[in-house]
Structure 1
Amino acid sequence: MNFDLTEERQMLQDTLRRYLRDKYTTSVRNEIIDSDTGLSDSIWAELAELGVLGALFTEEQGGFGGAGFDIAVVFEELGRAGVVEPVLDSVLMGGRLLAAAGKSDMVEEVIAGALHLAVAHGEPGGRYDLDHVHTQADGDTLTGRKAVVMNAEAADHLIVSARDGDAIGLYLVAQGAPGLTIQGYPLLAGGRAAEVTLDKTPATPLGLTLADYEAVNTLALVAISAEALGAMETATALTKDYLMTRKQFGRPIGTFQALAHRMSDLLIELEQVRSAVINAAGNLEAHDRDLHLSATKNLIGRAGRLVAEEAIQMHGGIAMTQEYELAHIAKRIIMADHRFGDTDYHLERFIALSAA
């Protein structure tokens, strides 16, 4: 089997990697993290200009990619550079939901970088249960509360799930709508989220169901897995460079057998994760797709924790300083496990799917 990227995907990867290497430095990221919105408008516009946002949509939706490997290529590079902009939530999830609803004009704005979205589905106490929706739809208004809504403060529109009787649907809510309250806060791994309260807030039905959200959630699983892979690559590379630069007793500490063996373990875990991400991206259309996705996400959580902890331990105290790249990358790796289902959740899901 040929695992090489197509020419178009290789060009996309090379272009994005080169751009982020030149523009997305640690100091730039720290400034973005400290900003009120948790994102950079200039970086966002340049990602759109490079075609990165368009690569997450199919040709029918106005993009030029949209397949599993397109998503994996983009998010691996975003993870490698530790990008905090909410591309996953605003573009991949929000944009693909609008595409499913037939909102082609809004999708064009998303691809052009002119429209920011937030997807408000999770609720307090819901954990990873996608059916846990208590927000109520009453005609054209919504009442309820949503938790940890990524990019809610900077979004032009929120896509909100709500229950109308026994059915769960998705609704479009404009920023600043009456009865909409957004309480934002910074996230540990960068970016911002918010607690969202709706009190008879005007909303427009999108004609989408929970099944449409679940379909986009599977794309998000591939994206967060690829993002974690990219972050692990950076953590491993930083650790390798440090071990070959830091000297003790007149020689690089990476030449000491104990540290060399620990470094070898990281490289083995990294290759396992890479294989799992390729498997997940290649099986997005398979009948047993969910089985592959849960297996991948479970491995991401276990391997990610090992990579993050070992990288910090082999660096020592410098790894915990905000000015050093690894501090942010390690946080990203650990927190990736808690999005869209953690290690334990996906282990249980894998067992249940295997027994079905």
Structure 2
Amino acid sequence: MHFNLSEEQAMLQASTARFIDQQYSFEVREKDVRLPEGFNRDTWATFAELGWLSVPISEAGGGFGGNAADTMVIMEELGKGLVASPYIPTVMLFGSFVDLGAPDILKQNLLEPLIAGQLQGAFAYQERQSRYNLADVKTTATREGESYVLNGEKTLVMNGATANQIVVSARINGEQFDTAGISLFVIDANAPGVHKTSYRLMDGQLVANIRFENLSVASSQLLGEEGDGYSLIEKVVNNTVLALCAEAMGIMVKLTDTTREYTKARKQFGAPISSFQVLQHRMVDMFMACEQTRSLLFRAVCSVGTTDADRSLHALKYMIGRNGRMICNEAIQLHGGMGVTDELDVGHYVKRLMVINTMFGDADHHQQRLAQISLPT
């Protein structure tokens, strides 16, 4: 089986890598992540000009209509560059929900400015008690005539402080853990009844806790069918997890390459430490961990839309957590005390990888989910 990129994918990968190499150094990243919004608007406009924001959006929605492999090549390069951008919350989450579930008029009004880089989006799904259960929803949506009234709170909303529009999951009916009875709404982030508290995570990204108090939402802002939002959530989140794993793959490769180059330059006892056999073995372990993970990434990308998709995705997310942790530990240790300083990029890559491990389920969670899936007969 061949895993060669198509001509379009190779061009997409090359343009992303070239942008990072020429315009996005670690020093630029550090300045961007400290901005009030957590990213640079000019950089985001460049993403729009290069067409990256349109890649996962369908042709009917005005996008490129790309598949999982197209998204993979972008996200892996963004991971290598440790790019601070709202690509995951705005494009992969918000954009996909609108593309797949919004009425035509709403879709046109939202996707056109999103692709042009003029609209920021977010997905508010997680609650204080929900942990990794997407169906654990206490936020309520009560029908009142031709509209709904939302009450509840969402936590750790990526890009929630900056977003103009937010997709919110709320329960129409059913019990707390029921998959049925959950609806999705697109709301104005600055509407009366929306209260935000923003803060930063260890990787520097800006998130927000958002409280809804008697927020009135028109029925035209409903995504999909009433009470049937969970199936759409599963589909969009699975695609997003795959994109996050591709970003993590880029980080793991970068940490491995950076560590190898450092051991060639660092001398001890008059010789590069890369000449010490015990360190060579550890660097080989890092390389093998990357290759193992890449194999699972290719399998997960190729299995999208098949009966093997869930099993492949759980295995990949588990491997990202396990191998990612090992690579982080080795990179820090082989760099010595400098590996944890803010001045060196290694520690920042490690922090981002640790955050990715916790998003939509950590390694233990996905290992348990994988164990619950029965093997084919």
- How does the TM-score come out when normalised to structure 2? 0.92
Equivalent of 1:186, from 197, 200, 205? Answer: 200
RMSD of equivalent CA atoms = 1.2
Q: Which amino acid aligns with 1:124?
A: R
Provide the C-alpha distance between the structure 2 equivalents of 1:314 and 1:82, rounded to a whole number of angstroms: 20
Task: Indicate the residue corresponding to 1:17 in structure 2.
Answer: 17
Is the contact made by 2:256 and 2:286 (CA closer than 8 Å) also made in structure 1? yes
Would you say 1:72 and 2:72 are equivalent positions? Answer: yes
Equivalent of 1:151, from 159, 179, 184? Answer: 159
Is the contact made by 2:58 and 2:99 (CA closer than 8 Å) also made in structure 1? no
Provide the C-alpha distance between the structure 2 equivalents of 1:66 and 1:141, rounded to a whole number of angstroms: 36
Provide the C-alpha distance between the structure 1 equivalents of 2:355 and 2:126, rounded to a whole number of angstroms: 17
- How does the TM-score come out when normalised to structure 1? 0.97
Is the contact made by 2:26 and 2:81 (CA closer than 8 Å) also made in structure 1? no
Provide the C-alpha distance between the structure 2 equivalents of 1:28 and 1:272, rounded to a whole number of angstroms: 32
Task: Indicate the residue corresponding to 1:207 in structure 2.
Answer: 224
Task: Indicate the residue corresponding to 1:115 in structure 2.
Answer: 119
Task: Indicate the residue corresponding to 1:163 in structure 2.
Answer: 171
Provide the C-alpha distance between the structure 2 equivalents of 1:267 and 1:180, rounded to a whole number of angstroms: 47
3-state SS of 2:156 partner: coil
Number of residue-to-residue matches in the alignment = 356
CA displacement at 1:116 relative to structure 2: 0.4
Would you say 1:45 and 2:40 are equivalent positions? Answer: no
CA displacement at 1:355 relative to structure 2: 5.3
Using the TM superposition, name which of 346-355 and 148-157 deviates more: 346-355
Provide the C-alpha distance between the structure 2 equivalents of 1:262 and 1:354, rounded to a whole number of angstroms: 35
Q: Which amino acid aligns with 1:73?
A: V
Provide the C-alpha distance between the structure 2 equivalents of 1:190 and 1:202, rounded to a whole number of angstroms: 33
Q: Which runs of 5+ in 2 are unaligned?
A: 175-180
Task: Indicate the residue corresponding to 2:324 in structure 1.
Answer: 304
Would you say 1:292 and 2:312 are equivalent positions? Answer: yes
3-state SS of 1:160 partner: strand
Task: Indicate the residue corresponding to 1:260 in structure 2.
Answer: 280
Is the contact made by 1:173 and 1:202 (CA closer than 8 Å) also made in structure 2? no
Provide the C-alpha distance between the structure 2 equivalents of 1:57 and 1:325, rounded to a whole number of angstroms: 32
Identical aligned pairs, as a percentage?
Answer: 37
Cα deviation 1:212-265 (Å, max 9, x = unaligned): 111101101111110100000110111001000001111110110010000000
Provide the C-alpha distance between the structure 2 equivalents of 1:135 and 1:146, rounded to a whole number of angstroms: 8
CA displacement at 1:65 relative to structure 2: 3.7
